[in-house]
Amino acid sequence: MAERDFIARLLAPLATTPAARGLSDDAAVWMPPIGRQLVFTHDVLAAGIHYLPDDPPSDVAWKLLAVNLSDLAAMAATPAGVLLGLGLSAAEDEAWRAAFVAGLGRALAHFGVALWGGDTVSGLAQAVLGLTAVGWVEPGKALGRAGAQPGDALYVSGSIGGAGLGLAVARGARPFDKALLGRFRRPMPRLALGAALGGVASAGMDVSDGLLIDAERLAAASGVGLAIALDAVPLAVPTSDLAEVLAQVTAGDDYELLFTAAPDVDVAGLNAATKTPVTRIGTVVAGSGLALRYEGQLVPVPTRLGWEHG
């Protein structure tokens, strides 16, 4: 299918918002909400790097949208619209493209996000899928990685390590487990919690490369240390084997939110208002880097903290 047909026949029916102008102009035009700051992110997924070539195309579309919305959630932003940059190879045949677009349409509808525009290129050696997500936040309420203060508590949403185990399932290295596979293929951005954290959390980010590596980044950006109780981390697969704990807290793709806030923040209220589990896993301390404890004992910080991009 030629690119123009792909856009006109498959993508244009998804671009129902007036801002998209039916994907027939050179750009999208959108009136932003009055008195709001805008939040922009762009993440790229490459076949064979960020997803497996035989992952279902509808799940690839979900993941492409979800990882970008997770960045907005990490900034306490509410999503509005997206632009696509699709680089496709011969492996993404007509059936793949149709399934991808159908899945994208369902994902956009699920999150209430508009498709505004983008670009498609065919004939590449490998699929490379980019997406720009645009959202908004009340002025001054955007979260950042800097801002954690000694004495703050450290929290994480949901559970950790499931996506890494799901990748092992997808690779055939673990027995089939639908829930874990879903964590890898269809991450769920924590948009409600993120929006609720604006003005509440002192620092925040999403856990995309592994809990420990992302915690270390938050600590570095804030100029503080983080004391983490590994046995308090809500693991996707609970275990009393420290090696298995460490495997889960250094696995990527969880797309949970990691944030710091006063120790008396109303966790139960956040939980109830956003239907999102929130668990305290540690404390912000003076200093730098990570201090890990397991059953009260200090644990050496692993050499590999998560996924370091090549």
**φ, ψ for residue 47 (rounded to 5)?**
-60, 135
303 binds a copy of itself (CB under 8 A): no
Of the listed pieces 81-89, 101-109, 183-191, 261-269, which binds a copy of itself according to CB under 8 A? 81-89
Interface residue with a copy of itself among 23, 65, 66, 74 (CB under 8 A) is 74
Under the criterion CB under 8 A, does residue 44 sit at the interface with a copy of itself? yes
Residue 290 makes contact with a copy of itself by CB under 8 A? no
**Should residue 307 be labelled a site residue for a copy of itself when binding is judged by CB under 8 A?**
no
99, 102, 132, 263: which one binds a copy of itself (CB under 8 A): 132
- One residue of 8, 56, 138, 144 binding a copy of itself per CB under 8 A: 144
Element (H, E) at 212: helix 211-222
Q: How far is the CA of 64 from the CAs of 47, 59, 79, 247, 296, in angstroms?
A: 11, 8, 14, 25, 39
Q: Is 177 in the site for a copy of itself (CB under 8 A)?
A: no
Which residue bears the tokens 């632009």? 83
Among 16, 18, 40, 238, binds a copy of itself (CB under 8 A): 40
User: Which residue of 16, 18, 49, 304 would you call a contact of a copy of itself, by CB under 8 A?
Assistant: 49
CB under 8 Å to 218, separation ≥6 — which residues?
Answer: 145, 148, 203, 204, 205, 226, 258, 260
Q: Does 28 bind a copy of itself (CB under 8 A)?
A: yes
Q: Candidates 10, 23, 64, 83: give the one binding a copy of itself (CB under 8 A).
A: 83
- What is the Cα–Cα distance from 9 to 22, expressed in whole angstroms? 11
Contact flag: residue 91 with a copy of itself (CB under 8 A):
no
Tokens of 101: 């677009």
How many Cα atoms within 13 Å fall on the side-chain side of residue 233?
A: 30
Span of 77-85, 170-178, 270-278, 287-295 interacting with a copy of itself by CB under 8 A: 77-85
CA distance linking residue 63 with residue 176, whole number of Å = 20
Cβ atoms of 189 and 73 closer than 8 Å: yes
In this structure, what are the phi and psi dihedrals at residue 257, rounded to the nearest 5 degrees? -100, 135
CB of 34 to a copy of itself, least distance (A): 8
Separation CA 191–CA 171 (nearest Å): 29
Stretch that binds a copy of itself, among 55-63, 115-123, 174-182, 275-283 (CB under 8 A): 115-123
Q: Which of 80, 105, 275, 130 lies closest to 190, judged by CA?
A: 275
Q: Decide: is 119 part of the binding site for a copy of itself (CB under 8 A).
A: yes
Q: Which stretch binds a copy of itself (CB under 8 A): 103-111, 141-149, 166-174, 231-239?
A: 141-149
Closest CA to 159 of 248, 271, 73: 248
Residues that bind a copy of itself (CB under 8 A): 2-4, 21, 24-32, 34, 37-44, 46, 49-50, 70-72, 74-75, 77, 81, 83-87, 116-126, 128, 130, 132, 134-135, 137, 139, 142, 144-146, 205-206, 221, 308-310
